[in-house]
Structure 1
């Protein structure tokens, strides 16, 4: 399955998302804000299939993170999430570098579906499908 970096400043949401995606077999690492996530991406040399990040966070928000990370790691798929309409509008001009924006609050099924769609778009043929 995929290696995913979940970046969220709210402990409860970060834990919920990490547990949900772990149920699907993904390997999850977490970060508390954009600066922490960027440090993790650099330390791991971008070795993630997906960056799932909240938009509104202290230190470095998800939009700044996306703008910083994508040029350094062009193969990284980025999925943002937000509970604020104005933040979603800020992300509209990022269509070239992000896959989508997930609206909060979301259910377990909705976040799993959004992540699945982002990964499917990034990796249309899984290694298992190619071998079949």
Structure 2
């Protein structure tokens, strides 16, 4: 299906999300913080169908990573996750860069559904652009 990158500093959340999305048929790479996520994005030359990233992380947060990734690879779809209301407000400033913000905690069905919707929205945008 799709090639995804999960960027999450909490190992248990990262592992559960990756497994849920792999079981849904996606190829999933993982990174433990924004700096590692950005390195993965550059290594793949922006070749991910979707980036799913936590906002609040050490070293480089998800918002800074999203901004850097968007500068290097405009149009790269990014879905952010957070359990903090103030971080969600910060993400609202990035409407041109991110697709949506997933509220934590989430169920495995929630993350699979949100990823599916984000991928479907990107496919619709790509088809509209090709027409």
TM-score, normalised to structure 1, is: 0.92
SS in 2 for 1:81: strand
SS in 1 for 2:124: coil
CA distance in 2, matches of 1:117, 1:64: 24
Alignment of 1:54-65 (within 5 A): 54-65=54-65
Q: Which residue of 1 aligns with 2:23?
A: 23
TM-score, normalised to structure 2, is: 0.93
SS in 2 for 1:75: coil
CA distance in 2, matches of 1:25, 1:71: 29
CA contact (8 A) 2:75 2:97 kept: no
Q: Which residue of 2 aligns with 1:129?
A: none
CA distance in 2, matches of 1:78, 1:125: 14
Q: CA RMSD in A?
A: 1.3
CA distance in 2, matches of 1:73, 1:26: 21
Residue by residue, what CA displacement relative to the aligned partner does 1:51-74 show, whole Å, maximum 9, x if unpaired? 000000000000000110012111
CA distance in 2, matches of 1:116, 1:60: 26
1:43 to partner: Cα distance: 1.1
Q: Which residue of 1 aligns with 2:42?
A: 42
1:89 to partner: Cα distance: 0.5
CA distance in 1, matches of 2:71, 2:123: 19
Pick closer, same or farther for the CA change 1:125–1:100 going to 2, 3 Å: closer
CA distance in 2, matches of 1:31, 1:20: 16
Count of aligned positions: 126
CA distance in 1, matches of 2:60, 2:29: 18
4+ long deviations beyond 3 Å: none
CA distance in 1, matches of 2:111, 2:76: 18
